[in-house]
A and B are shown apart, each in its own frame.
Chain A
C-alpha cells in the first residue's frame, strides 16, 4: 500500500533539528523543543507501528518514480518496531541530557546533532534502497562525530581519531560492495536485488560482495575481530551520548545485517558457519574483555560487544525461531543498553567516580533508586522473568536443534560472565562501604541538584525500566511480534510484492 505517512518520522526530525538550529545558544528553548518534539516523535512512531502491524507493509516511492528506478521507502513490522524503540530511547536521552550535559557543550549544537542523528536512524530503518541506506549511515556517523568530539578533551580526541578511521573504512567497504552489486545487477532497490541476485552466473563474485557487506556492517556493529575501536571510544563522551551510541548506533549495523542477509544474500552453509563462528568469538572476547575492567564505562562498552554475539548468532543459525530470538534480543538490547549507560551516568553523579574500586555505598544512601537501577542491570543478565531471559531460551534451543554446540557454549559462557560482571558491579558500587574521598569540584553531584533536575535524571531511567519490564513480563506479545518479524525475514515475498507490485495503483501523473 502506498502511503506518504511513512516519511513523516524522517521529515519531523529534520524540521525539529532545523528549528533547534534557529535557537542556537538559547539552551532552555532547545531543551523544551527537544523534549516535547521527542514525545511527539514517539506518538508518530507508535501510530505508524500500529498501522503497519495491523494493515501490512506500507511503501512510498520518492518523487513517484516507479519502484526499481526511484528510491523506495518501506515500512514493515521490523522497521517500524525499530523506529518505535529508537524514538523511546531518544526521548529518554533527550530528557536525561538536558540535565547531565554541561551548558557549555549544549550551547555548541548538542540538540540539533541529536535530532540529525535520530533522523539518520529513522531513514536507515525505513529505506528500501541500498545506496540510500549508505547515505543514512553517513548522516548517522557525521552526527556521531560531533557527539564524540563535543568537549574536545584529550582522551575524546584520541578516541575520535580511532572511531573516525574505522567508521570511514567501514563506509568505504560498504560503498565498494554497493558498486560491485550495481555492476552485477544494475539495480539498487533491495526488493529488486533480491530477485536479480539469483540470475547472476558469477556466484563467486556475489559471495565476495556478501563478505564485503559483512565486513562493512561488521565494523559498524562491532563484531569479532572488528570491534577494537568500540571499547576505545565509547567511554570517552558523556554518559547521555554514550547511551545513544550504545543503544542505537551498533544496533543499526545489526539491523542492516539482518535486512541485507535475509533479503538480498540468503546465507548458504559457508556463510552460516562463518557468521556462527564470528558470533561465538564475539561472545567470548567481549565477555573476557568485560571481566578485567575496573572502569565502569569500559566494562559496559565490552558488554555491548559481548551481547552483539547473541544477535549475530541468531542470524547465523537462520531458522525462524533463531531469527525470532535474535530480534527479541535486539529489542531488549536497545532499551537495556541505553538504560545501562544512563544508570552509569547517574552512578557517576552520585559518587563522582567511574572506577568501580572507589565507588560504594549507593544502596545505603539511595535504597529506592538502587532498586530501580537493579531492573536494567538484572534485565541485562537475563534473570527470569526479566527481558533478557526469553530470547536466550530461543537461541539456546536453536543451538541444540541446528547442532551449533560451539555457539551454544559461547552463549552460556557469555551469560555467566555477564552475571558475574554485573554482580561484581553491584557489590562494588552498591553494597560496599563508601570510602571517604574529597568531593571533586568539577563534578555536579546528584545531591546538590534541585528536584526538577533530579526528576529529569531519574525519569528517563524509570521510563526505560518500565519498557524493559514490559518486554519481560509481557513476553507473550513480544514473542508474537518477533515471530511475525522473523517470518517476514524468512519469507520475503510480501516485502518484495509490496515494493515492486505497487506501481499500477498510484500512477496518476
Chain B
C-alpha cells in the first residue's frame, strides 16, 4: 500500500510541476490542483498507515488500544484541503479574468508588467 501511494505521490508531483512549466493558463491551474492533492497524500502517507484501528475509545474500554491510526495527519489534511480549495477557486476565477482582459492564455504573451511605462 505504501509503495502504491509513494508512486502516486511522485506522479502527482511530477505531472503537477510539468504542467506548471507549460505556457498555457489552463494547464497551470491543472498543475496547481495536482500538486495540492499530491501534498495532501504525502501528509497522509508520512503520518503512517494503520488499517481498521480508528483512534476511538470503545464503549466498554477505559483506554485506547495499543495500535491506532494517528488522527493528526487527517486533521492537517482537512485543513490543507480547505485552504487549497479556496486557493484553487481563486486561481480559476483569476485565470478567467486574465484571459478575458489580456485576450490570450499563453503565459509568454503576458509581458505587460515588464514593459516600460513611459
* Stretch from A93-101, A156-164, A421-429 that touches the partner: A156-164
Contact code string A160-171 (vs B, CB < 8 Å = 1, else 0): 111011001101
Q: How far is the CB of A494 from chain B (nearest CB, A)?
A: 27
Interface core residue of B35, B36, B95, B107 (most chain A CB under 10 Å): B35
Q: Is A152 an interface residue (CB 8 A)?
A: yes
In the assembled complex, the CB of B92 is this many whole angstroms from the nearest CB of chain A, namely: 11
A295 at the B interface (CB under 8 A): yes
Complex: how many Å from CA A171 to CA B40? Answer: 12
Among residues 46 to 66 in chain B, which have CB atoms less than 8 Å away from a CB atom of chain A?
46-48
**A162→B28 CA distance, assembly (Å):** 11
Given contacts A158-B110, A165-B20, contact A295 B94 (CB under 8 A): no
Q: Which residue of B lies closest to A186 (CB)?
A: B70
**Is B76 a contact partner of A176 (Cβ separation < 8 A)?**
no
Determine how close the nearest CB of chain A comes to the CB of B21; give it in whole angstroms.
11
Q: Which of A177-185, A338-346, A461-469 is the interface stretch?
A: A177-185
A163 CB to closest chain B CB (Å) equals 10
Q: Is A329's CB within 8 Å of the partner chain B?
A: no
Asked whether any CB of chain A lies closer than 8 Å to the CB of B91, the reply is yes
Task: Find residues 173-198 in chain A having any chain B CB closer than 8 Å to their own CB.
Answer: 175-176, 178-180, 182-183, 186, 188
Residues facing A in B68-118 (CB within 8 A) are: 70, 72-73, 76, 79-80, 83, 86-87, 90-91, 94-95, 97-98, 101-102, 107, 110-114, 116-118
The residues of A that contact B72 with a CB separation of less than 8 Å are 182, 188
Task: Given A164-B94, A165-B32, A355-B118, check contact A155 B42 (CB 8 Å).
Answer: no
Residue A142 interfacial (CB < 8 Å): yes
Interface SS of chain A: helix
Is B101's CB under 8 angstroms from A131's CB? no
Q: Which residues of A contact B30 (CB under 8 A)?
A: none
Asked whether A161 and B39 contact (CB < 8 A) given A135-B83, A154-B112, A355-B118, the answer is: no
* A165 to B21 alpha-carbon distance, docked (Å): 11
Nearest CB of A to B79, in Å:
6
On whether the beta carbons of B87 and A142 are closer than 8 Å, the reply is yes
Please count how many residues in chain B sit with their CB below 8 Å of the partner chain's CB atoms. Answer: 39
Instruction: Decide yes or no: A357 and B118 within 8 Å by CB, A158-B102, A236-B113 being known contacts.
Output: yes
Cα A433 to Cα B20 with chains together (Å): 48
Interface band, chain A? 35 or more
Q: Please tell me if the beta carbons of A168 and B91 are within 8 angstroms of each other in the complex.
A: yes
The answer on a CB contact under 8 Å between B42 and A160 is no
A257 to chain B, nearest CB (A): 21
> Quick one: which of A158, A160, A294, A353 has the most chain B CB within 10 A?
A158
In the assembled complex, which residues on chain A have CB atoms less than 8 Å from the CB atom of B14? none
Chain B interface, >50% SS class: helix
Indicate if the CB atoms of B46 and A179 lie closer than 8 Å.
yes
Cβ contacts under 8 Å, A355 to chain B: 116-118
- Report B-chain residues with C-beta under 8 Å of the C-beta of A183: 45-48
Q: Kindly state whether residue B26 has any CB partner on chain A within 8 Å.
A: no
Which residues of chain A from 106 to 156 have a CB within 8 Å of any chain B CB? 131, 135, 138, 142, 145, 149, 152-155
Q: A157-B98, A160-B98, A188-B72 are in contact. Are A182 and B46 (CB under 8 A)?
A: yes
- Cβ contacts under 8 Å, B114 to chain A: 232
* Complex: A135 Cα to B32 Cα, angstroms: 18
Separation of A466 and B70 alpha carbons in the complex (Å): 52
Q: Are B102 and A157 in contact (CB under 8 A)?
A: yes
Given known contacts A232-B113, A295-B116, A357-B118, is B94 in contact with A182 (CB within 8 Å)?
no
Give A354 to B90 CA distance when docked, in angstroms: 30
The answer for the CA separation of A180 and B80 in the assembled complex, in Å, is: 15
CA–CA, A186 to B25, complex, Å?
38
Closest Cβ–Cβ distance, residue A108 to chain B (whole Å): 14
Tell yes or no: A32 within 8 A of B by CB.
Answer: no
With the chains together, A186 CA to B118 CA distance in Å?
56
Taking CB atoms, residues of chain A closer than 8 Å to B80 are 175
A361 CA to B49 CA, complexed, in Å: 69
A sample of 23 inter-chain contacts (CB < 8 A) reads A135-B83, A138-B87, A142-B86, A152-B97, A153-B101, A154-B112, A157-B98, A160-B94, A161-B107, A164-B94, A168-B35, A168-B87, A172-B39, A175-B39, A176-B39, A178-B43, A183-B48, A232-B113, A232-B114, A294-B116, A295-B116, A295-B117, A355-B118
